[in-house]
Structure 1
Amino acid sequence: MTITYTPIGRVRSPYESPADVDHDAVDETTGEIVLDGEYEAGLEGIEEFSHVVVFAQLDEIDEYRLTARPPHADDLAVGVFATRSPHRPNPLAQTTVELRERDGATLHVRGLDLVDGTPIVDVKPYVGSIDDEDASFGWLQSLRE
């Protein structure tokens, strides 16, 4: 089976490479999600949401690992599917960002952790759930405490 996605836009970000992403400062990192003009009408109404979920193809990742060492978790090694590591068999990213403004086909966002030029494959409004307070955060829980 082959799955093919056509990018609908690109990221504009201060990060030039994956190594440049500062995980300590990413909450304040601003950038833009720029969709191709033909998709602008698909953004109608998105400015009413405070946050959006961005799906991207991590096109600079050329290898995967089945285990990962999460940032800030010193000696912890877990399976890649239990992390947000970019080194995955299918290097797709899902990131939730604050939507600060929409200008045509451009979304101005904060909290961006993607590299400049990263292809965007989808954008969706973030819709919290009543179940959020009951969510479990696995190994991350111990880092929060």
Structure 2
Amino acid sequence: MRISFTAIGIIQTPFTDIAGMPIQPSGATNVPGQLVLDAQYEEGLADLNGFSHLILLYHFHLSKGYSLTVKPFLDTVERGLFSTRAPRRPNPIGLSIVRLDRIDGCILHVLDVDMLDGTPLLDIKPYVPTFDMRSDARAGWLEQSQERSASLKSDQRFREKK
């Protein structure tokens, strides 16, 4: 089945290269960015101001190809792709939770960005603690090393192969 999406806008960030880019929003605390929406979607931003956090779905637009096993940045062991957040995936869709600072027309000013400048934005959803937070959640193999994720940046393993 073929599915296609149209970007609703572009994510602007200070990261023009994968090298040194945070891996997850936890490693991007206070890094500012903007979600620049196409004008036709401005009406859809009504009532969003009351939310502190947003869930962003976006396209890993520079990702090419994938492998079903990868060596994640927090591990030295090959893992199944779907047990990781590696960007090279069959459907290169990213997900990040960012903090909403303010909205100016079609521009949402956000904090904690961990994506490349120019990333196509597919959707915005409000983060709702009652719906989204799970007190009984487990992190599988990542439980041993997830506390290190905030200090790590992207490495060369996720650069595109020439």
Verify: 1:107 aligned to 2:113, yes or no.
no
Distance 1:141 1:14 in 2: 30
CA contact (8 A) 2:74 2:146 kept: no
SS at match of 2:82: helix
Partner residue of 1:95? 96
- CA-to-aligned-CA distance 1:5-32 (integer Å, 9 cap, x gap): 0110001001113334133842232111
Length-normalised TM-score, structure 2: 0.81
State which drifts further: 63-72 or 115-124. 63-72
Query: Which residue type is aligned with residue 4 of structure 1?
Result: S
**Structure 2 unaligned runs (5+)?**
148-162
Partner residue of 2:125? 124
Partner residue of 2:138? 136
Distance 1:129 1:70 in 2: 30
Distance 1:120 1:27 in 2: 20
Query: Which residue type is aligned with residue 36 of structure 2?
Result: V
Aligned pair count reads 144
**Structure 1 unaligned runs (5+)?**
none
Partner residue of 1:13? 13
The 5 Å alignment of 1:34-113 reads 34-73=36-75, 75-113=76-114
- CA-to-aligned-CA distance 1:77-130 (integer Å, 9 cap, x gap): 211111111010110001110111111111111111111111111000011237
